[in-house]
Amino acid sequence: MDLDDGTALLTDQYELTMLQAALRSGTAGRRAVFEVFARSLPAGRRYGVVAGTGRLLDAIEAFRFDAAELEFLTANGIVDDPTAHWLEKYRFSGNVWGYAEGDCYFPESPILVVEGTFAEAVLLETVALSILNHDCAIASAASRMVHAAQDRPIIEMGSRRAHERAAVASARAAYIAGFTTTSNLEAGRLYGVPTAGTSAHSFTLLHDSERHAFEAQLAALGEGTTLLVDTYDVERAVRTAVELAGPSLGAVRIDSGDLGVMARRVREQLDSLGAHDTRIVVTGDLDEYGIAALAAAPVNGYGVGTSLVTGSGAPTASLVYKLVARADGPDDDAPMRPVAKRSTGKPSRGGRKSAVRRIDAHGTAYAETVSVGEPAPGRRDRVLHVPLVRDGEIVGRESLRDARERHVRSVAELPPTALQLSKGEPAVPTEFVEGGPRT
Amino acid sequence: MDLDDGTALLTDQYELTMLQAALRSGTAGRRAVFEVFARSLPAGRRYGVVAGTGRLLDAIEAFRFDAAELEFLTANGIVDDPTAHWLEKYRFSGNVWGYAEGDCYFPESPILVVEGTFAEAVLLETVALSILNHDCAIASAASRMVHAAQDRPIIEMGSRRAHERAAVASARAAYIAGFTTTSNLEAGRLYGVPTAGTSAHSFTLLHDSERHAFEAQLAALGEGTTLLVDTYDVERAVRTAVELAGPSLGAVRIDSGDLGVMARRVREQLDSLGAHDTRIVVTGDLDEYGIAALAAAPVNGYGVGTSLVTGSGAPTASLVYKLVARADGPDDDAPMRPVAKRSTGKPSRGGRKSAVRRIDAHGTAYAETVSVGEPAPGRRDRVLHVPLVRDGEIVGRESLRDARERHVRSVAELPPTALQLSKGEPAVPTEFVEGGPRT
């Protein structure tokens, strides 16, 4: 494997061929503004969640073409020598603004604005979309699960069902959206997401009896551990577990069967054995609907895997990266012209956008106002763009904790319909208005 | 970004806590056999495609715990010192067999068999499943698209809708399944997948007119290039394109509107302008059904993005990694015992499996025969496991071309129902039989 930290080839070939053609035609240096937005949310979803911003800033910083990459590009005739020479010196020197990580978004929300020369900005399309499309999809699904679980903790355990690196990003995005822990160790090391995990069925099957397996786990991990009780017979396993660990057994995990029925039976049994504080964790093909269905069951925590890493039916956020304005000529002070595709099917709006979340007297959001030009926020309104990159320098780094706390505030501000799991309209309507002149 | 080549932390925490408990209980050294299989195919699918094997072998080779990783694990109390010491010396020394990359699979097909001590084999669960679940899902979707496209080429262009590293793996998997090229440059560099790409709408919008944009692209990329003709008005764009490039214009791309209707109009127009050899490439939210619907349209090639990288509705292959046999004691010659979970919902079959694809006199597969013990293949039958790792040494490396060619042969061997896009039963039924004694 020859994976390297560089991100410059995480790029679609057309960006480099466009660069080459623009260098030849003299348009490469025109100032340009690209925006990232979703034309719609996944069917029926009430809001989306911005995630991936921190990873994107890392990727922009690492976006340099090294000698081996340039050699690959020229040897395969993908770019000519003048273009390779230009790429050799590439570093992004423009500006990026975006919705802050963890904030909610809606259809047409301009969640990222990239400003630079056409040449430098066009090259970031793929890596920006890859990161944001994945991480926003995961965080958007995760947020629904977190609210379905109310105050119960959720462990992210989807790594085994996702690409091995996407799994790490998924754990990060889920944490931003409110998951408590992840099973993924690399997410712990790389991003500081708290990790969790105790044992699988294979551990029980390895031993000569379930009793031996439980004894081994308790000896190694202490009585605060979580014992998996559904390898053979749940009732017998719970009896054995409490017999061995005593009433201070941390938790039991149920991974199969009707989780609601099983949880009630196990709770009764635990209580009858005096293990009143032993928690019940349920796992096994849970999604936001399955979690919600267990609201009245005596469950203390959930583990979610497949549905999280697949975005619960929406594995990509359908974000696009569109040129919305460009200079009329090569000079720095050439006037900017709004541009947009005009053909059928996928229209887009020209002009660089600002966005404001309108907040009423009760602190509740009632509109996502997108304008070309400067926004005119009211007293309670929230301007949504924050600076991320200024003249090529990363200025938008923050901790995961900040993004996680922002997400709590952003959801709290939405109208109550936002938390309905049923299909419906976006919780906040997007409106386009004329903005003031940009200063 | 602190991405490294190591794969050891692409692991769920429970594998390490099980290791720690097994080291304490004296069961860590028991011989064990784990198998990877899917209980079912995605709803209605006729076959699955094995992909990711080459990447998995790279990942197994790179699966070593370095000092920083061990420090993370001990500092966070995830493992104790004896376990960290054991991990420090870890390298997989066992055996792996699997279905060869590109081959088809069915429900319960044992596509990977991992044999070693419990300790060394349990650690590979997450990385093996991550890679196979992702790559098999993509290749399985890709194969349907390839057959829907009949002999027309398909460009993979889904990178912008997938995690940035998953995108690279997707390009590789799609190529194995028969896609012609990819837009993803890193897939070109890392795996040698042929790359393609010319321009996006932003390139047209950058220029003062579509004519200027086409001139620039033709000057840089030659008249064999593909011009994108749907930024403003398709008819005008096609006229301009042929006027500038002449009848040897390589291709035009249509990315919006009713692709069948547009393709017919554009073909007529191109022919009327004498550009009989100019090809028509269509893109824009295509999946296998959209491709099939264009079978009678004058289309020369397809570009597929979102539906490919999301597995066209099945973004994970739902493969699991299960302990199926383990030794009764610590010695190398201790008898092996089949093991399986017995509780409700997710039963599995104990015992190490072999698999044979039964082939009739016409060369058509009619059964996937899975047996515990040695297979008893008939004269025409195909034994499905190939050696991948022997005593820790990678022995199963092969070229992508080999996997790609194998896929063609494997699909050709399936009954015709395999290529139906409609939902149905697996093309070949899986049957369990008693195998002979393992020698």
Tens of pLDDT, residue by residue over A207-239, are 999 999 999 999 999 999 999 999 999 999 999
| Confidence bin at B332 (pLDDT 50/70/90) | confident
Q: What is the CA radius of gyration of chain B?
A: 25
Contact A207 B25 (CB under 8 A): yes
A76, A200, A220 ranked by CB distance to B188: nearest: A76
Torsion of CA B172, B176, B179, B180, to 10 degrees: 80
- B13-138+314-434, what's its fold? nicotinate phosphoribosyltransferase (3.20.140)
DSSP state letters, B155-210: EE--GGGS-HHHHHHHHHHHHHTT--EESBHHHHHHH---B-----HHHHHHSSSH
Q: What is the CA radius of gyration of chain A?
A: 25
Report the gap between the CA of B72 and the closest CA in chain A (Å): 6
**B167 reaches A (C-beta below 8 A):** yes
Residue B134, burial from CB neighbour count under 10 angstroms (0-12, 13-18, 19+): buried
Interface mutation target, options A33, A163, A184, chain B, most CBs of B under 10 Å: A163
pLDDT computed for residue A3 by the predictor: 44
CATH code of domain B149-311: 3.20.20.70
B34, B340, B343 ranked by CB distance to A257: nearest: B343
Which residues lie below 8 Å from residue A38, measured CB to CB, with a gap of 6+? A48, A105, A107, A108, A109, A111, A317, A318, A319, A320
C-alpha atoms less than 13 angstroms from C-alpha of A374 in its C-beta half-sphere: 6
Contact B76 A339 (CB under 8 A): no
pLDDT, mean of residues B80-104: 98
Q: Number of A:B CB contacts under 8 A?
A: 379
CA atoms of A402 and A257, how far apart (whole Å): 38
For the stretch A184-198, what's the b/e string if a residue is b when 16 or more beta carbons lie within 10 angstroms of its beta carbon? bbbbbbbbebebbbb
pLDDT higher than threshold 70 for residue B323: yes
CA atoms of B434 and B437, how far apart (whole Å): 9
Which residues lie below 8 Å from residue B65, measured CB to CB, with a gap of 6+? B6, B8, B9, B73, B87, B88, B90
| Confidence bin at B1 (pLDDT 50/70/90) | very low
Report the gap between the CA of A147 and the closest CA in chain B (Å): 24
A36, A171, B114, B286 from A98: Cα distances, Å: 9, 22, 46, 30
**A266 reaches B (C-beta below 8 A):** no
pLDDT computed for residue A373 by the predictor: 82
B165, B183, B306 ranked by CB distance to A14: nearest: B183
DSSP state letters, B103-164: -EE-TT---EEEEEEHHHHHTTHHHHHHHHHHHHHHHHHHHHHHHHTTTS-EEE--GGGS-H
Backbone φ and ψ of B180, nearest 5°? -85, -40
pLDDT computed for residue B342 by the predictor: 83
Beta-ladder partners of A114: A34, A96
**A117 reaches B (C-beta below 8 A):** no
pLDDT computed for residue A347 by the predictor: 60
Given a contact cutoff of 8 angstroms between Cβ atoms, the answer to whether B190 and A2 are in contact is yes
Residue with tokens 């949880």: A263
Tally of residues, chain B = 439
- Cβ-Cβ contacts under 8 Å, A230 against chain B: 341, 343
Chain centroid offset of residue B153 CA: 18
pLDDT computed for residue A434 by the predictor: 77
- What percentage of chain B has pLDDT greater than the value 90? 93
Average pLDDT over all residues of chain B? 95
- Who has greater pLDDT, B72 or A374? B72
A15, A58, A167 ranked by CB distance to B130: nearest: A167
**Domain boundaries, given as residue ranges, for chain A:** 13-138+314-430, 198-299
**A223 reaches B (C-beta below 8 A):** no
A410, B144, B266, B412 from B276: Cα distances, Å: 57, 30, 11, 33
pLDDT, mean of residues B215-220: 97
Contact B185 A11 (CB under 8 A): yes
CA atoms of A416 and A380, how far apart (whole Å): 19
Contact B328 A197 (CB under 8 A): no
pLDDT, mean of residues B97-103: 98
| Confidence bin at B436 (pLDDT 50/70/90) | low
pLDDT digits (tens, 9 = 90+) for B253-288: 999 999 999 999 999 999 999 999 999 999 999 999
Residue A184 identity: N
- A13-138+314-430, what's its fold? nicotinate phosphoribosyltransferase (3.20.140)
B 8-37 residues inside an 8 A Cβ radius of A: 9-18, 20-25, 27, 30, 32, 34
- Cβ-Cβ contacts under 8 Å, B63 against chain A: none
- Cβ-Cβ contacts under 8 Å, A80 against chain B: 220
| Confidence bin at B330 (pLDDT 50/70/90) | confident
- Cβ-Cβ contacts under 8 Å, A73 against chain B: 185
CA atoms of A406 and A177, how far apart (whole Å): 9
pLDDT computed for residue A1 by the predictor: 36
Beta-ladder partners of A393: A390
- Cβ-Cβ contacts under 8 Å, B315 against chain A: 310-311, 315
Residue B190 identity: L
pLDDT computed for residue A437 by the predictor: 63
Residue B63 identity: F
B 331-390 residues inside an 8 A Cβ radius of A: 339-346
**A394 reaches B (C-beta below 8 A):** no
Given a contact cutoff of 8 angstroms between Cβ atoms, the answer to whether A34 and A121 are in contact is yes
Could you give the angle at the alpha carbon of B370 between the alpha carbons of B368 and B376, nearest 5°?
95
- What would the two tokens of residue B99 be? 């279905």
B165, B311, B342 ranked by CB distance to A165: nearest: B165
- What would the two tokens of residue B258 be? 């009713």
**A198-299: which CATH number, 3.50.50.60, 3.30.450.40, 3.20.20.70, 3.40.50.300?**
3.20.20.70
Contact A163 B163 (CB under 8 A): yes
B30, B257, B344 ranked by CB distance to A343: nearest: B257
Residues of chain A below pLDDT 50: 1-3, 439
CA atoms of B250 and B223, how far apart (whole Å): 6
pLDDT computed for residue B345 by the predictor: 60
Given a contact cutoff of 8 angstroms between Cβ atoms, the answer to whether A415 and A425 are in contact is no
pLDDT digits (tens, 9 = 90+) for A393-413: 999 999 999 999 999 999 999
